[in-house]
A and B are shown apart, each in its own frame.
Chain A
Amino acid sequence: MPVIRTDELTKRFPGVTALDRLTVDIDAGVVGLVGANGAGKSTLIKILLGIAPATSGRASVLGSDVVTNGPDIRAQVGYMPEHDCLPGDVSATEFVVHMARMSGLPADAARERTADTLRHVGLYEERYRPIGGYSTGMKQRVKLAQALVHDPTIVMLDEPTNGLDPVGRDEMLALIRRVHTDFGISVLVTSHLLGELERISDHVVVIDGGQLLRSSSTTDFTRNSQALVVEVTDRSDDVVAALAEAGLTADRDGRHILVTLTGDADYDVIRSAVARLGVGLIRLEQRRHHIVEVFGEERTDVGAA
């Protein structure tokens, strides 16, 4: 059963449609929600949490309707907002304990879980100091900790890498991946950067202008390229010539040769051509797309339509 399901979900603000009949199923795992700023990502999360009402359509989280079962859903969901939301005058420990209690944990459990969770997100000695003095990276960790402290079934992370430097970004992404693999919590993570979600997501949902552009597994996204990468030990130009003679479209791309794939027989043709020339075949594989390229193509399609 999908953990999140929306059906013709629409949200209109005066003068702008944030979500336009969005129908999508999201399964357990790490799911990336991608879209440009203003694509409707944050609006979708607010509707799923039952904070903002939808104009029309339905949505359910963990099998419960967001309109009728808001409090039940929110007890099992963690939310990390995009914006700054931490009081500067209390320590991370005090703050996360309070948030754990606000999620329904008894006082003792709240303390214990806070200590555990802050350690898991990588805050140690600093956690007793006021949050006001923290770096952006540390604040993002506290925000993540308050979303995880009550051991939710699913967490919704809104732009968790915003404002982080490249190293902090990598650490945050690794941490998010661990939230699913080590903690067993499903993750819905939004970003306007496709590249970073490609690395950690099992599934990617792309929305644009409030509409679903594409929803498929990350491997689907990055497979399906009609090009073969061939790498040989020597005499690349001769190989290109031999392949052209054999009826294939081949081009040099730096050290690699790119061959347009027309059928499974092409693999044998390339192997034989390389063997005839007596050079070593290092690599022969289907070229993997990056999500960015796919997204770029689809954006072009949408623009043309």
Chain B
Amino acid sequence: MSAQPEPGPTGVIHDIGYRNYDGPRYGRQQIARALFWHSLRGVYGLGRSGRSKVLPMLLLGVMCVPAFIIAVIANVGAIGLDDLPAPYTRYAVMTQGVLTIFLAAQAPQSVSRDLRFKTIPLYFSRPLERVDYVGAKFAALTVALFALLAIPLLIMYIGALLAEFPVGEHTADVALALVGALVFAAVFAGIGLVIASMTARRGFGVAGIITVFALSFAAVSSLQGIVGEIEGDMTAAGWIGLFSPVTLVDGFQVWVLGASSSAVAGPPGAAGGVAFVLATFGVIAGCWALLMLRYRKVFAS
């Protein structure tokens, strides 16, 4: 915010004394909504210092580059493609590195500051309840991550339309991919917030999130490679996918949205599909429960 210009020497400052406030006062729901918008803007550095905007905006740009390249390739007549070079549902898996960095940088920004500066008691001495605070933070980060995925998906979609690929088919595909993006966003936000809320130190939060996402994906995909391609047991390889957030939601997309798997192996059979769906919702619900538990402790202290 810029400083308001001070009145010049022509004016006289009168002390008008204290004025009581008798305007409207919003209830819990609207306060929670205000906190949601404040947090969402905060994730992208809006309304904060210029320096805070650099990283999220840079990562948003980086996220859009592959989509832009895909859209351009689709429109180069000489190549003569009749479909996009990569399906919409694979985009999150392709760009998971950028997503993870974004999450690692912005989840601690969203919750660790309140813990580090001990600002939490000021929220809890206001009408907000614990569920409102956790809900606003969770929703804000989910929406922020969803936007990070949805914008490149829409760039790809516009590219497909310009290349005069079948409109109906692409509209249906991108709609399903947006649903998948929302699930990706919720799972990433949940895990990111749980890790970030454990520590008041921002650095620990950043390191923890990167470690969990990168390690779990590296471990799962190399195990899947060994079990599936070397041992030839694709069923066991499929089950292993449950243990990393990226392959988990990828399996969800395969089973619920009919996408092709971007991992070594998708969920094995109907039982596998159901397990992936349940595990996906289980992770989101589990993160919610852990956050509520965590803030009960913060709340009471």
Q: Which residues of A contact B (CB under 8 A)?
A: 49, 51-52, 70-72, 74-75, 77, 79, 81, 83-91, 93-94, 98-99, 101-106, 109, 113, 116, 120, 128, 146, 150-151, 182-184
**Contact with A74, one of B113, B119, B126 (Cβ below 8 angstroms):** B126
- Distance of A71 Cα from B130 Cα, bound (Å): 11
**B1 at interface by CB-CB < 8 Å:** yes
4 additional contacts, CB 8 Å, given A104-B127, A109-B24?
A72-B127, A79-B122, A87-B113, A102-B34
Given A71-B127, A183-B18, decide whether A87 and B1 contact each other with a Cβ distance below 8 A: no
Query: Hey, what's the 0/1 contact readout for B275-301 against A, CB within 8 Å counting as 1?
Result: 000000000000000000000000110
**Contact with A104, one of B31, B38, B124 (Cβ below 8 angstroms):** B31
What are 21 pairs between A and B in contact, CB < 8 Å?
A51-B121, A51-B300, A52-B300, A71-B27, A71-B28, A75-B25, A77-B125, A79-B122, A81-B125, A84-B117, A84-B118, A85-B121, A85-B122, A87-B113, A88-B117, A103-B25, A104-B27, A104-B126, A104-B127, A105-B23, A120-B18
Closest B-chain residue to A91, C-beta based?
B1
Contacts of A85 in B (CB 8 A): 117-119, 121-122
- In the assembled complex, the CB of A170 is this many whole angstroms from the nearest CB of chain B, namely 20
- In the assembled complex, the CB of B113 is this many whole angstroms from the nearest CB of chain A, namely 6
- In the assembled complex, the CB of B36 is this many whole angstroms from the nearest CB of chain A, namely 11
Contacts of A93 in B (CB 8 A): 1
- In the assembled complex, the CB of A30 is this many whole angstroms from the nearest CB of chain B, namely 15
Q: Are A94 and B127 in contact (CB under 8 A)?
A: no
Q: Are A102 and B27 in contact (CB under 8 A)?
A: no
Q: Are B123 and A102 in contact (CB under 8 A)?
A: yes
- Distance of A51 Cα from B125 Cα, bound (Å): 7
Q: Are B23 and A79 in contact (CB under 8 A)?
A: no
Query: Hey, what's the 0/1 contact readout for B118-147 against A, CB within 8 Å counting as 1?
Result: 110111111111000000000000000000
- Distance of A192 Cα from B137 Cα, bound (Å): 38
Q: Are B38 and A101 in contact (CB under 8 A)?
A: yes
Q: Are A83 and B31 in contact (CB under 8 A)?
A: no
Q: Are B25 and A104 in contact (CB under 8 A)?
A: yes
- Distance of A99 Cα from B30 Cα, bound (Å): 14
Query: Hey, what's the 0/1 contact readout for B11-31 against A, CB within 8 Å counting as 1?
Result: 000000111110111111011
Given A75-B127, A103-B126, decide whether A51 and B299 contact each other with a Cβ distance below 8 A: yes
Main secondary structure of the interface of B (DSSP, over half): loop
Q: Are A102 and B21 in contact (CB under 8 A)?
A: no
Total interface residues on B, CB under 8 Å, equals 37
Contacts of B3 in A (CB 8 A): 128
Q: Are A104 and B20 in contact (CB under 8 A)?
A: no
Closest A-chain residue to B300, C-beta based?
A52
Contacts of A116 in B (CB 8 A): 18-19
Closest B-chain residue to A111, C-beta based?
B1
- In the assembled complex, the CB of B167 is this many whole angstroms from the nearest CB of chain A, namely 41
- Distance of A106 Cα from B3 Cα, bound (Å): 21
**In the A-B complex, the 3 residue pairs with the closest CB atoms:** A151-B21, A79-B125, A104-B26
- Distance of A221 Cα from B118 Cα, bound (Å): 37
**B35 at interface by CB-CB < 8 Å:** yes
Given A91-B1, A94-B1, A116-B19, decide whether A103 and B127 contact each other with a Cβ distance below 8 A: yes
Given A85-B118, A91-B1, decide whether A102 and B35 contact each other with a Cβ distance below 8 A: yes
Contacts of A151 in B (CB 8 A): 20-21
Contacts of B31 in A (CB 8 A): 101-104
- Distance of A51 Cα from B126 Cα, bound (Å): 10
Contacts of A83 in B (CB 8 A): 118
Closest B-chain residue to A158, C-beta based?
B121
Contacts of A51 in B (CB 8 A): 121, 124-125, 299-300
- Distance of A83 Cα from B271 Cα, bound (Å): 54
**B49 at interface by CB-CB < 8 Å:** yes
Contacts of A113 in B (CB 8 A): 21
Contacts of A74 in B (CB 8 A): 125-127
Contacts of A105 in B (CB 8 A): 21, 23, 25-26
- In the assembled complex, the CB of B69 is this many whole angstroms from the nearest CB of chain A, namely 37
- Distance of A74 Cα from B130 Cα, bound (Å): 14
Residue among B26, B38, B49 with most chain A CB within 10 A = B26
Contacts of A184 in B (CB 8 A): 18, 20
- Distance of A179 Cα from B215 Cα, bound (Å): 56
Q: Are B117 and A86 in contact (CB under 8 A)?
A: yes
Residue among A79, A84, A101 with most chain B CB within 10 A = A101
Q: Are B122 and A81 in contact (CB under 8 A)?
A: yes
Q: Are A71 and B129 in contact (CB under 8 A)?
A: yes
Q: Give B224-279 interface residues, CB cut-off 8 Å to A.
A: none
